[in-house]
Structure 1
Amino acid sequence: MDRELSELLSAESGVRLPSGRIVRTDEGEGRQGLWLADEPARPGMWDEFHTAYARSGLWPLMLRPLRDEAEFRPWETGELYSKLITHPDDHDAAGVLREWWSHYTAHDEDDVLTEKERTAVTAPYGLQWPGLAPARPPTAEPDAFAAEYADHLLFQYPSTRLGLVAAERGADALATAAWTGPANYTNDTAEVAAVLRSWEDRFGARVVGAGSAELYLSVAAPPTTLDEALHIAAEHFAFCPDNVWQNSRPYTLTAYAESLVGFNSWDFWWD
């Protein structure tokens, strides 16, 4: 990884880099994780570097810091931990989501919700994992829409910087960089990457950016009906239950699904 990233960042890669530096994982003591720009990104930058990806092997990410802190954590500080991260090939998206669903729908004696209340959150499925949602045809060209979404993120979060990761595909970029945003739920970001690969294939999703515990995806094939959205919402709940537990009102799968219909980006936040 160290040698590969250094080579990809060389002049022969054909990529003109702004001022920046390579960031090592494990608070500077580990391997090279990503290249990080020194200054905020500019419009069109994600598209420029994504266009060069086939030649450079460097996947672009729009990166946000923790609470806009000056140190630009966790990226600039190397708070990226690779020791517990496996490889996405080691995991099956359907199996990962099914296991997470079972865990988050389970009731125990310390639960603040009754078993009936917890089942109501994930209605109409209750405790039953519905399986993966069917693939959908894209309504937009996935990469072109991802570039538009990247500029939207930059407009929304002006302190965003460009990161570059030597990844086999976009879905793997955050695992390769040793990002641990969902650490309170999983310490193995390769499991997350396995799901992201599946969403790339089924919904034209693209990994566009991330924060300390946030993930930003563009989606070229969003659900167009509530029934389609409910099935996808079940996957989102298994993937990031805080999206339902904390970000929808009322806190139910149905309320969350309504926000997915026709919407071309999926954002996740792990508490």
Structure 2
Amino acid sequence: MATLPNPLPKLAADPSGHTLGLELPAGRLIDAVGTSHALGSMGDGDGPGHEPLLWHADGPAAPGGWAALEPARRTSGLLPLLIDVGGGQGGPEDWELLPGEVSYPGDHDAEEVLAEFWDEYAADELGADEDHPGMRTVVEVFGEQGTYEETVAPFGPAWPGLAPATEHGADPEACAAEIAGSLTDGGSWLKEPRLALVPARRSADIPAAIGWSGPLNHEGDVARLCAVLRSWEDRFGIRVVALAFDRLILSVAAPPTTRDAAEAVAAEHFAFCPDNITQGHHEALRAYAEHEVLGRRMWSFWWD
């Protein structure tokens, strides 16, 4: 993947980030082999032996912390992020980050990626035998599933195309700060959120920049999904706000405002992350569009 100059190694000698115009709390660098380096314990000349992928704070994130990291965007190209270090999978040093396996998001076309996913899912479902091995287990775990036609209605096997952009919305950075604040205020999906900084060209590229492998069971090259995130940045003002082991949370400054537009976006979500619908609270695309997309300022994705 094409990379920018990485300012993170400077934090080894300057843990508070003064040279980057920051006042960072105690934190650590996570490098490309998953090693965690606590900056407060480093001496002069110490530093990560491998290229660091991200910095994250040692202590819990609190409301307002995201805004304190905003200067890093302007002074050093470091973008804010929330990282969940709770749960059974631990923090990013335990996530099997794979930056060497990632291509460049700009080399992929968002619609081509989504159309390929949509077509593959349709081919699998329409060609499936109800008695194929494993079907009984699926039913036992998830219950009886709706038919493919019921799940993707009002669409069909043919890729429906990209949803139209929303013309007016909030400021994307302000929206991201608001959503980040809500995620650090307790009661969110994040068990132990930590503030983080990632060197990336744009927010949509953050998963690729660290080689995040959360969607590995769906797509082995997360840069292809980042190409879709870039398109959502342009059309809906999304920002990548949080990552957990297998969950991605976006802020949405300009969500769709009509039912038809929401259903078109829901089709993109289905291609991007089928588990959101097939293993989520809403087993059909129409219901998902109504409850999780229409006017919603936060989109969340989870891959099994």
* Common topology (TM > 0.5): yes
Same amino acid, percent of matched pairs: 45
State the AA in 1 paired with 2:115. Answer: R
Amino acid at match of 2:7: L
Instruction: Provide Cα deviations, 1:4-28, integer angstroms capped at 9, x if missing partner.
Output: 2335645422122211111012333
Alpha-carbon distance, 1:263 to partner? 1.2
Report the equivalent of 2:26.
19
- Residues 122-201 of structure 1 mapped to structure 2, 5 A cutoff: 122-155=152-185, 156=188, 157=190, 159-201=192-234
Query: What are the residue-to-residue correspondences of 1:1-271 with 2, within 5 Å?
Result: 4-6=6-8, 9=11, 10=14, 11-28=18-35, 31-65=51-85, 67=87, 69=88, 73-77=90-94, 79-106=96-123, 107=125, 108-110=127-129, 112=135, 117-155=147-185, 156=188, 157=190, 159-249=192-282, 251-259=283-291, 260-271=293-304
Q: 2: CA distance between counterparts of 1:219 and 1:8?
A: 32
CA distance in 1: counterparts of 2:95 and 2:274, whole angstroms: 27
Q: Cα distance 1:41–1:128, how it changes in 2: closer, same or farther (>3 A)?
A: same
State the shift of 1:211 in Å: 0.7
Aligned-partner SS, 1:216: strand
Aligned with 1:128: secondary structure? coil
Residue 42 of structure 2 corresponds to none
2:4, 2:269 → 1: CA distance? 34
CA gap of 1:81–1:235, structure 2 versus 1, over 3 A, is same
Residues in 2 aligned to 1:103 and 1:145: alpha-carbon distance in whole angstroms: 34
1:120 is displaced (CA, Å) by 2.3
The alpha-carbon deviation at position 189 of structure 1 amounts to: 1.1
In 2, the alpha carbon distance for the partners of 1:184 and 1:154 equals: 28
When the two chains are superposed, the root-mean-square deviation of aligned CA atoms in Å is 2.3
In 1: Cα distance, 2:128 partner to 2:170 partner: 47
**Corresponding residue SS for 1:23:** strand
Distance 1:193 1:81 in 2: 15
| C-alpha distance in 1 between matches for 2:58 and 2:210 | 17
Greater mean alpha carbon deviation, residues 207-216 or residues 103-112? 103-112
The count of corresponding residues between Structure 1 and Structure 2 is 266
SS in 2 for 1:63: strand
Distance 1:197 1:4, change over 3 A: same
Structure 1 77/224 Cα, relative in aligned 2: closer, same or farther at 3 Å? same
CA 1:169/1:199 → structure 2, altered by over 3 Å: closer, same or farther? same
> Which deviations, in whole Å up to 9, do the C-alpha atoms of 1:200-252 show, x marking residues without a partner?
11001111111111111111111112111100000000000011101133x11
Structure (1 or 2) with the larger CA radius of gyration:
2
Tell me the alpha carbon deviations over residues 84-140 of structure 1, each in whole angstroms, 9 at most, x when there is no partner: 211111111111111111112223335659xx9212211111101111111112332
Contact 2:4 2:199 in 1 (8 A): no
Q: Secondary structure at the match of 2:165?
A: coil
Q: Residue type matched to 1:64 in 2?
A: D
Distance 2:279 2:219 in 1: 18
Out of 48-57 and 233-242, give the one that drifted further.
Answer: 48-57
Whole-Å separation in 1 of the counterparts to 2:86 and 2:116: 29
Cα distance change, pair 8–200 in 1 and its aligned pair in 2 (3 A): farther
Change (3 A) 1:30 1:131: farther
Structure 2 length normalisation: TM-score? 0.81
Query: Distance between the aligned counterparts of 1:99 and 1:76, measured in 2?
Result: 32
Moved over 2 A (4+): 5-12, 25-31, 76-79, 107-113
